[in-house]
A and B are shown apart, each in its own frame.
Chain A
Amino acid sequence: MPKAREIVPGSERKYGAQYKVIGKNYQTADLYAKVTGQAKYAEDFRADGMLFCKLLLSPLPHARVKHIDASEALKMPGVKAILTANDLPAPADSLTDLGTVIKANPRGERALTNEPLYQGEPVLAVAAVDEYTAAEAIEKINVEFEPLPFVLDPLDSLRPGGPNPRVEGNVWDQHQPPPAKPGERPASPPPAEVAELKWTSADFEGAKQGRLPMGKPTDDWSYGDIDQGFKNAELIVDESFVTPDTSHQTLETRSALAYWQNGKVYVHTGTQSTVQTVPALARWLHIDASNVVLVSEYTGGGFGSKVTAAITAIIPALLSKKTNAPVMMRITREEETFIGRGRPSLLGRLKVGFSKEGRITAVDMFVICNTGPYDAVGDAGAAARIVSLLYQPPAMRWRGATIMTNTPPRGPQSAPGGMQGIVMMEPIICKAARKLGLDQVAVRRVNCPEGKADFGPVQNGKRAHCTSSFMKDALDRGAEQFRWQERVASKPKRAGSKVRGLGVSLSCFFGGSTGYDGLFVIKSDGRIAIPSGIGNLGTESVIDCHRVVAEVLGVPWEKCDLTWGNTTQNLPWTCVSGGSQTTHAMTRAAHAAAMDAKQKLQEIAAKKLGGKPEHYEVAHERVFAKGGGAGMTLAQAAQHAVKLGGKYDGHEAPPDVNKYTKASVAALAGQGLVAVAKDKYPHDGTSMSFVASFAEVEVDVETGKYNIIDFLAYADVGTVIHPRALGGQVLGRSILGIGHAIGQKWVFDPEYGHMISRRFYQSKPPTILDVPPNMQWAALDIPDPETPVGARGIGEPPVGGGCASILNALSDAVGDDVFRRAPVNADTILTSLEAGRPMQDPLTAHI
């Protein structure tokens, strides 16, 4: 192969032809600090007199703390304090935006515990002058535990007489309050309780043939006539499948530094949401939100695991209060594995009917979700809704059981549930296409959503729909760019011991929320100060979204000054940077604020220069009479705004913005023209983003080892805001999905209930050599019709396709019937090829 010396840029296509700023690459404001090592992540901060904190983790998967003897540790010089569960304040209730009180659940996760529910759960913490001392102190503490029954696998817990992960049972039981009468606030639901769910021996009959048993679910819904659907089917495929538990494994562990000053707690920690972490911290610490300051300038990865506050920020905060000194808690990689959240494994069984043409006639889906010992994650339900949207079955039944176990707590991870749903469905589509003699792209084209496609069950008389889907275009263009037909036609598939396989997968996930606030100030020097409340995870949405302001006002980007990462900086109420909602939500909010600024500029011009506001336009850093008459610079307008006061300089805030925004506006009042608005743009459907993923793999059938030799992701993500950031997300999240296909997993020892895959070489996040050196991405760049800029989020949608396209390519190479699980490693392939059938238990995730 000749040496390719030229730089191969991901997939460079020109975007944003109609815009000045949007769709263009640019240098983000945080990049210089990052590349020179000056960027400060939580653990990089130091405070005078700072103490260090270490945790004592439970060695048992389920136990009761009977006695703690810390006397030896406390005698050590340098040991300042220990913190146990008895020192924790009771968690406070929380209040939603709608005014509904969410009662604190006494059974929920707390920072420390006297009844550890998984091995690795923090039991107590020690603060000392340095880590050496804290570590030795921990080793000197004796905790007497009373072992309690435990369970790792949801199926074991569901068996008749099976063990329960919690004393009271294995599932959450949420009693819903009666529906509110019109005009009244909905009543607060009571805290969820723990109940017991057991299936019968008869339910488990199927498990003997490797089929997922299907007993009583915890949730279900259906639409259409599935019996008729199956009756009309030419082919019915019924498969069981298991997906892995995977840690988020952000490269920055959730270390935190905390200290108190003048009654306020200052917390430095990495988070996916600068603004919304504040109320979360306040609730955990049971203090008023106005007494919380969060510093989170740079967050070293989140993927859903750092959505707001974590228990790791609470422990140093409480120890700091107790010791009256700043406390740093450096979380080790192993601790992060225990407390850093993970994606739940889903055990699934899908029965899918297909017509001759490959059109799905009905889907019957059953999933069991292993949610860990605390809050139930929504993966089981999300998996079904995504399947319903992505494959458009005319009839579908979903049954789900979200079961607690004594494994580390789960949280949403990029495309939570959606990824698993796609990964279970895609191999079935593959198999059906082969049985029906159809092309893999064609069969997906027949089933994929188009336009405002419906999905999910009927709720309040109608089904939800997506705002727009151009999945077919993404498939077509992707197939073209990937040279799908050409590759399919090229033979042979096998050379020596190597077999190549091609895979294509549909993928989608939620792509945005609405209703947040935009806020910025046009300063008297004409520069625009934008406080960004978005968490800085490196996806650059923290900055990218605000490019809309420059675009709308016609201000050069260089004149926009961004601040972020600190809640003393007067931030607007902002969405959590999770669930791919940010680009959608915050470009809308930025647009709303920019339109507010425009309106105010026009009003100021009219007031000063006469005429009506609508006679003025805003462009080129000026507001001026349409057609080129009198006008003024933005700087002058800002000075006028300050003189005018009221709503113009922030002395009055719109009534509909969040109270958090109002406080910020009040603090900014008088600094210039304060633009502030809530996103109230009409929005009927659910914003969803789509990706068509293509992969080629080469399998060595003698060793089972395989390599991904090519990959393309073609995205339907609405308007492209920042191509390089988008490309990074499309391929980055694709690789996150690929990781699920090629190796990432949790492994437990069933006897002791310990996770034994604690290190990277055991849990196997993908390396740079596990992906092809040239990956391709592209985006349709078709604006979303229901959002002003037309942009949607892309964090999650590529994940399912990343994983499923690899699995599909593998089954193309070595056959449909050799494995029924992810990840697929050399061992899976080799044992199954030897036996000619699936050889690894499709009902156990932890191997």
Chain B
Amino acid sequence: MAVIRDVMPAFQLLQPTSIADAQKILDQYGPDAWVLAGGLDSFDWLKDRIKKPNTVVDLSGVEELKGIRETGQGLEIGAMTTLTEIAQHPLIKAKYSLLAQSAELVASPQIRNQGTIGGNVSQDTRCWYYRAGWPCYRAGGNICYADTPVGRNREHAILHAERCVAVNPSDTAPALIALDAKFVIRNRKGERVVNAEDYFVGPEIDITRLTVLQPGDLLTAVRIPATWAGAQFYFEKVRDRNVWDFPLMNVASAMVLSGDTIQQVRVAVNGAAARPLRLKAVENAIRGKQRSIATAEMAGNLAVQGAVPLQFNAYKIPLMRNLVKRSITGVQEATWAS
């Protein structure tokens, strides 16, 4: 019952050096195994002594999981590739700058040096009730403490809330969705590839997890198809502090234009729901339209349809509307006569 912080409970540390070994360990330990990528999310749970896994599987020694490779179909990024590497990689900066931008805005330099792309997309929510160890739905309980008449929910969901109102905190996730990335998951049955947007689950499907990963599953790589290489990109993250903070909301879009006409487009938003949302309705509505302020405004309005504010997060509705709008037309850079 006692709250003890910053002393990690004892665990067995296993450090495989190959995917095969990692796989074997995960099979053997099942739900008892805790997968450690960069560790920045994990250590919070362990230091708070809220989670006390029997076995921690450190993937930092698995070289196969690291690195950025060009393939015939595009790019493959190992799940254990650091955010710094992604943010600074010349190829990503040249062709998929959306991803580089989103990675560069994560947390702080040291965290980007250590945090991995796999960890960033798989991290748990930052709802402060859940992270305090309160027994909410997400922790297996029967209540959401954030969505009560007095709950403090400024950072919570406006869309697709289902009992739980937590949001996904990842910055790279919407960028990957906009780039139509595929996530490669391995388990004992073999390898499966899921679309980026299908990697994430909402509370209506599973209230205790944010991704489709089950015990025994290992996210090994993220594949980015060449389809969107060099497209028009937009990424914006709104946060309270310019370092460390998770997004209040972020938006990512990829667009292929022909003249002024939007030929192809993908838009994703995070911080609005328990999973990063791909805005298919918006995409469908603006495909083939002129890229104009009117189109952008229509997109923004469409994006927030059905949004339900909680007591303290009504601002997220105009925020999402405006971010989606900007993701179509970009933001007008201020020019000051000084």
The short answer to whether A and B are in direct contact, CB under 8 Å, is yes
Q: Which residues of A contact B (CB under 8 A)?
A: 54, 56-57, 59, 131-132, 134-136, 138-139, 141-143, 332-335, 490-492, 495-498, 500, 698, 700, 702-705, 707, 742-743, 747-751, 754, 756-758, 760-762, 764, 766-770, 825-828, 830-831, 833-834, 839-840, 846-847
B residues within 8 A CB of A139? Answer: 1-2, 4, 49
Q: Are A761 and B246 in contact (CB under 8 A)?
A: yes
A residues within 8 A CB of B239? Answer: 705
Q: Are A831 and B315 in contact (CB under 8 A)?
A: yes
The 3 closest A-B pairs by CB, nearest first: A496-B332, A769-B242, A495-B334
- Our pick among A132, A491, A698, A831 for the contact of B10 (Cβ within 8 Å) is A132
Given contacts A54-B7, A136-B9, A830-B319, 18 further A-B contacts (CB under 8 A): A54-B4, A132-B7, A139-B1, A141-B2, A332-B5, A333-B5, A334-B6, A702-B322, A703-B323, A743-B241, A749-B145, A756-B128, A758-B128, A761-B126, A770-B243, A826-B238, A827-B313, A828-B315
Q: Are B154 and A847 in contact (CB under 8 A)?
A: yes
A742 to B314, CA, bound (A): 19
Q: Are A847 and B152 in contact (CB under 8 A)?
A: yes
Q: Are B334 and A498 in contact (CB under 8 A)?
A: yes
A59 to B2, CA, bound (A): 8
A56 to B7, CA, bound (A): 14
B residues within 8 A CB of A498? Answer: 334
Q: Tell me the nearest residue of chain A to B150, going by C-beta.
A: A750
Taking residues whose C-beta sits less than 8 angstroms from the other chain, chain B's interface range is 35 or more
B residues within 8 A CB of A136? Answer: 9
B residues within 8 A CB of A833? Answer: 318
Q: Is B132 an interface residue (CB 8 A)?
A: yes
Q: Are B318 and A834 in contact (CB under 8 A)?
A: yes
A residues within 8 A CB of B241? Answer: 742-743, 761, 764, 766-767, 769-770
Distance of A202 from chain B, by nearest CB (Å): 26
Q: Which residues of B contact A (CB under 8 A)?
A: 1-7, 9-10, 49, 126, 128-129, 132, 145, 148, 150-152, 154, 236, 238-246, 248, 312-316, 318-319, 322-323, 325-326, 331-338
Contact residues of A: prevailing secondary structure: mixed
A751 to B143, CA, bound (A): 13
Number of cross-chain contacts by CB at 8 Å = 148
A335 to B126, CA, bound (A): 20
Q: Contacts A139-B2, A500-B336, A703-B238; is A830 near B315 (CB within 8 Å)?
A: yes
A497 to B318, CA, bound (A): 14
Q: Are A135 and B4 in contact (CB under 8 A)?
A: yes
Q: Tell me the nearest residue of chain B to A133, going by C-beta.
A: B7
Distance of B165 from chain A, by nearest CB (Å): 14
Distance of A125 from chain B, by nearest CB (Å): 12
Contact residues of B: prevailing secondary structure: loop
Q: Are B5 and A705 in contact (CB under 8 A)?
A: no
Distance of B292 from chain A, by nearest CB (Å): 16
Q: Are A767 and B240 in contact (CB under 8 A)?
A: no
Q: Are A56 and B2 in contact (CB under 8 A)?
A: yes
B residues within 8 A CB of A56? Answer: 2
A134 to B5, CA, bound (A): 12
Q: Are A769 and B243 in contact (CB under 8 A)?
A: yes
A residues within 8 A CB of B151? Answer: 749, 751
- Our pick among A57, A132, A767, A846 for the contact of B244 (Cβ within 8 Å) is A767
Q: Tell me the nearest residue of chain B to A495, going by C-beta.
A: B334
Q: Are A131 and B7 in contact (CB under 8 A)?
A: yes
B residues within 8 A CB of A138? Answer: 2, 4
Q: Are B128 and A826 in contact (CB under 8 A)?
A: no
- Our pick among B1, B245, B336 for the contact of A761 (Cβ within 8 Å) is B245
Distance of A76 from chain B, by nearest CB (Å): 14
Q: Are A767 and B312 in contact (CB under 8 A)?
A: no
